[in-house]
Amino acid sequence: MNWGCVCLDLDNTLIDYEAAFKKGMHYTFHHFFDGNWSQIKPADKDEWFPVFKKQCNELFDNIKLKNWSKQEYQQIRFIKSLQYFQIEITPEMAWEFQSYFYSIVHLFVEPFQSAPLLLNKLSERNIPFGLITNGRTYVQKNKLKALNFERWFSPENIFISQEYGVAKPNSKLFEIAHHSLNKSTSSPSLYIGDSWELDVVGAINAGWDAIYLNSREKVPTTNHQPLQTCRTLNEVIEVLGKEIIEERG
Ligand SMILES: [Mg+2]
């Protein structure tokens, strides 16, 4: 396949965000509850985190259902995780906790082992490639800097939802990237990401091809047809190898 550009998701596609989330939340917990909030420390971080993570998973759909904003979700999941230990805090304190996490999470990001190989292979090919990622601009930029991903992505090739005021799965963000990077009139763009709803559905609805990186064995929730489903980045490299490398020799 001759794509006019290839774009990638960042969190849980190129980097192990689940691991960074856990480490960053542990660090934030320690910062507050072994610091200014020591009087209300609910439990040890290893006892608290699974309770918090359960709240994250159970409450997340409230964003999709548009019951809560992302910020409300982030506040409520934390408040509820402390209520489990009979600790009451204010929404303002919950936001202080989340904001601190945002300011440090980049310290814990690590690329998946095969990410550099994938990015090197894309750079070797004469094909424009970029990042489309949902999130706060400063948080995502801090991560890219910490990862030294500037080696592969120049600022014009990075599309962060907050910067454009529109987030995946909205087609608009894909269209902005397509118009900036895909100089061909006939070749489609390709997107690679780990979220069915945000990445696969978003990309296909915008007229892109999609590769679904289903590393967490999630069942698709719609009838969209990705070009390929892969379980690992190595499998993605294989697919691209066949599709791009053979084509372009
Ligand atoms: Mg992702």
Residue 14 CA to ligand 1 centre (angstroms) = 8
Q: Is 189 left (phi over 0), alpha (psi -120 to 50) or beta?
A: beta
Per-residue confidence (pLDDT) for residue 246, from 0 to 100: 52
User: Residue 142, Cα to own-chain centre: how many angstroms?
Assistant: 14
- Tens of pLDDT, residues 146-196: 999 999 999 999 999 999 999 999 999 999 999 999 998 889 999 999 999
Mean pLDDT (whole number) for 74-97 = 98
Confidence band, pLDDT 50/70/90 cuts, at residue 249:
very low
Residue 41 and residue 35: Cα distance in Å, rounded? 10
What does pLDDT average to over the chain?
95
- Between helix 233-240 and helix 115-124 the angle, nearest 10°, is 20
**CA angle, 9 as apex, 7 and 13 as ends, to 5°?**
125
Return all residues near 16 (Cβ < 8 A) that are at least 6 apart.
109, 110, 111, 112
The DSSP symbol for 5 reads E
Asked whether residue 89 carries a pLDDT value surpassing 90, the answer given is yes
Domains within the chain, CATH numbers bracketed: 5-16+111-248 (3.40.50.1000), 17-108 (1.10.150)
Query: If pLDDT is split at 50, 70 and 90, which confidence band does 25 have?
Result: very high
pLDDT interval class at 64 (50, 70, 90) = confident
Distance 196 CA to ligand 1 centre (A): 9
Query: How far, in Å, from the CA of 31 to the mean position of ligand 1?
Result: 27
Is the predicted pLDDT of residue 122 greater than 60, yes or no?
A: yes
- pLDDT the model gives residue 244: 65
When pLDDT is cut at 50, 70 and 90, the band that residue 245 belongs to is low
* Cα separation, 182 vs 4, whole angstroms: 5
Q: How far is the CA of 29 from the centre of ligand 1 (A)?
A: 24
Say how many Å lie between the CA of residue 200 and the centre of ligand 1.
11
Distance 18 CA to ligand 1 centre (A): 10
